[in-house]
Amino acid sequence: MSQVRDTYTRWAVVASGEGGGRIASQFFTRSDNPGIDDRILVMNTNRADIRNTISHMESNFAEGEDPSQHALEFGSQQGAGNFFVTGMEAAREDLDRIVGNIGDLATEGGNVDAFLHAATLGGGTGNGSIPYVIDQFKSGLDTDRRKNWMDSTIHTAFAVWPYYYEAPQRQFNAVAGLSRLIRSPDGSQNADMVLLAANSHLSDDDATGTDYSEVNEQIISAIDLMIGAGRETRGVIDVQDYVTIPSQIGAYHFTPAVATDLNGGMFELEYMFDKAAENAFVPMDVGTSRVTYAVVRAPEHMIESGDITEPDVQNAFNQWKREHGLLGASGMTSLTPKQERGDSVDVLLLLGGFDLDPLLDHSWEEFEEYKESLQSGRSLGNARLPADELRRIEDNLTEYMEINEG
């Protein structure tokens, strides 16, 4: 088993905050993705929230396994009070413990190739800690805490936008969180890849915002397709492919677009790409994408028989891009097998470098209003957000958006 497992691209999942914990806990039900296995850590500043996450995980564990081994409580305060600055300060306060726990996760059984960091952007704990932790792992750790494996490990982030109706403070958190994931305080790139999903865009439950399971199931499905089966899969797009060109052109924010259970014996591949594009995880104009990847997962018997081939996927994707004015967009295709008897085909598009205005339109006004209230003396509890730091956060995002205008 270990020899087979070593052929896969090795991912580890690090989730912070209650929302990120809900997403991460569902990975324990996905035994069909050996790219992750049980390399999962959930973090929280709130003891009650982390207990809830552990209880979600327990039902998916084998007898005798201890889910608390996958959980870390950090910081001295009970909760971040929905202030992202408090979540960031808690991570700074307990950075050594966080680095130690993530390091154990990353090196158990062999070094990981990539981290997937998960957080919801409306809150304080995950939204505050995850951008800070990524920044520290990439460039902030001193020589005593830095390990050789850290230099080659890729850091991707999956960030979930709050419901559009949620309070202005949550919209403020989301805008600031996106900026901090995109760029470090000095203006350099932070996460190697930022994947975005919007609750209101994925869920019909916009009135109450309680149906997170619907959103999380779609997120897990997209991640399964993105990670694929590993290095030995036919035509696989590996994690290095996802991040190299986008980083070079400053277009490293993405959203998944997914269509599953399509009849491969009935539908053309171009139609499947269209169906996936209709299900982008955020509001966007597909035609503004600067980078595009396509992953097609088909039954192995269809691939072996030649019903779907790598050239078929590449040619259909090129035609699809031509029809959407995307021939100039960078990108790759992948064909991966699954063990099924039927003709069910799944498609993932990763659309990157698109115009962020349709997503930010829902939150920017609330961000500005909340920013003005802070400048007028509004309290952030025990946290402080200096005016120059807030200005830098806003400028970093604005400059990045200008690079990726539609």
CATH fold for domain 256-352: 60s Ribosomal Protein L30; Chain: A; (3.30.1330)
pLDDT computed for residue 50 by the predictor: 76
By CB atoms closer than 10 A (0-12, 13-18, 19+), residue 20 is buried
**What sign does the dihedral 71-77-80-84 (CA atoms) show?**
negative
pLDDT computed for residue 149 by the predictor: 85
CB 329 within 8 A of CB 277: no
pLDDT computed for residue 141 by the predictor: 87
* Residues in the chain where the model's pLDDT stays below 50: 1-6, 229-233
Residue 162's SS3 state is: coil
Query: pTM of the prediction?
Result: 0.92
Per-residue model confidence as pLDDT tens digits over 119-147: 999 999 999 999 999 999 998 888 888 88
Q: What is the DSSP letter of 48?
A: H
167: which residues sit within 8 A by CB, 6+ positions away? none
What is the pairing mode between strands 344-352 and 71-73? unpaired
pLDDT computed for residue 6 by the predictor: 45
Beta bridge partners of 350: 256, 293
pLDDT computed for residue 147 by the predictor: 86
Count of CB atoms situated within 10 Å of the CB of 250: 16
Start-end of CATH 3.30.1330.20 domains in the chain? 256-352
CA pair distance 231, 393, nearest whole angstrom:
37
What is the pairing mode between strands 344-352 and 154-161? unpaired
Measured in degrees and rounded to the nearest 5, phi and psi for residue 267 equal -100, 145
Measured in degrees and rounded to the nearest 5, phi and psi for residue 72 equal -140, 125
pLDDT computed for residue 207 by the predictor: 52
Q: Please give the CATH number for the structural domain made up of 2-233+361-403.
A: 3.40.50.1440
What is the pairing mode between strands 253-263 and 193-198? parallel
CA pair distance 303, 269, nearest whole angstrom:
14
pLDDT computed for residue 236 by the predictor: 66
CA pair distance 139, 151, nearest whole angstrom:
9
pLDDT computed for residue 377 by the predictor: 66
Measured in degrees and rounded to the nearest 5, phi and psi for residue 12 equal -130, 145
Per-residue model confidence as pLDDT tens digits over 30-84: 555 667 878 889 999 977 777 777 777 766 666 666 767 788 999 888 777 788 9
Start-end of CATH 3.40.50.1440 domains in the chain? 2-233+361-403
